[in-house]
Amino acid sequence: MQDQALMQEPAKKNLNPPITMEEQPSDPPLEIAFQHLLDKGDDKPDELPVVKEAELPLIDLNQLQLGESERQACKQQIAKASREWGFFQVVNHGISRDILDIMRAEQMKLFKKPFEEKKAYAASNFSSGSYRWGTPSATKISHVSWSEAFHVPLNDVIGSGEHNNSLSSTMEQFAVNVSELAQTLADILADETGYSTRIFKETCVPSSCYLRLNRYPPCAINDQMLGIISHTDSSFLTVLHQDGVGGLQLVKNGEWIAVKPNPDTLIINIGDLFQAWSNDLYKSVEHRVVSNPMNERFSTAYFYCPSHDTVIQSGHDEPRVYRSFSFGEFQKQVKQDVCTLGYKIGLSRFLNN
């Protein structure tokens, strides 16, 4: 989950030369806003390192509908991937192709609106700050995310189908289906620790979760600019549907791994809250998106989160790695770090010293 405030009006400055392939009326003015950081001779980052490409562990959730041995094997695969990778991908996940296709079509239609219309649409339909672009707190180019997003609390779209808004009603349908999947996976992961809990069913209701629609415009200086800077997600779980362009990378064994895109799967990753709750058994790993010089990229992320007053603490007997904290406290600390430092610190702020 990239925790960023809404970018305000950019500074007025002419560019020579432009750094996108071709500026579109729908694009946020990323070039104007961040050219001054590129102009700093001592501030330009090194080229991004070459990374390995790999496929995430692939798990067929249809096994959960079969016999006991198949179900147990599937649950063990989910837990193993969460311990060793922090990421995995699933097929036969119960989300219809029609829902995924309609969600992507509505998302693309929204992002093709002119920039000013997108700001106005967000102001009229979603909570303040839902439309985001760039990184307003960035003081160096390596802290800039070359992307735009609608980061929407589900409270904004729940029940919206009654208002004849095709985007909001599609978002609601998508979120309700994905929420069921997230709860199933969370319960499995909890059971595999040997510590069953009702925290997910009782606190991770749709109204406390978030849906994020992402667009990554082409960027001609993709060797210097990330689509989303390196981060971990402030959630229990994240469910991601991406297109076939690629760009997602994650850290494994101290190396950046490029994830082979597969639009026929959903990607699941462990968030900070699950790492804390599991006492570091499951890993919330750093990930990022690299920009592309020619092609735009779209993805849709569902963040499975509890209510703000939910207390996160491990139920295991061994010494707890993290002190108890509420989700609201965690979000407040993340926001403060992003605003003051330009990036997120995360769980290390809550170590049980």
Residues carrying an active site annotation: 297
Which pair of structure tokens corresponds to residue 284? 């919330």
Contact 235, 271 (CB under 8 A): yes
Q: Residues with Cβ < 8 Å from 125, sequence gap 6 or more? A: 156, 165, 167, 168
β-sheet with 52-54: strand ranges across: 52-54, 255-259, 248-252, 287-290, 226-231
195 half-sphere exposure, CB direction, 13 A CA radius: 14
Reply yes or no: is the peptide bond before residue 17 cis, omega within 30 of 0. Answer: yes
Beta carbons within 10 angstroms of residue 74's beta carbon = 20
**Residue 337: is it exposed, middle or buried by C-beta count within 10 angstroms (0-12/13-18/19+)?**
middle
DSSP H/E element including 97: helix 97-111
Query: Would the CA dihedral through 216, 14, 117, 130 be positive or negative?
Result: positive
Contact 89, 57 (CB under 8 A): yes
Query: Would the CA dihedral through 237, 232, 123, 247 be positive or negative?
Result: negative
The count of residues in the chain is 353
E strand segments, 39-179: 52-54, 58-60, 87-91, 131-133, 148-153
Beta carbons within 10 angstroms of residue 51's beta carbon = 15
Terminal Cα distance for the chain, rounded? 26
**Residue 307: is it exposed, middle or buried by C-beta count within 10 angstroms (0-12/13-18/19+)?**
middle
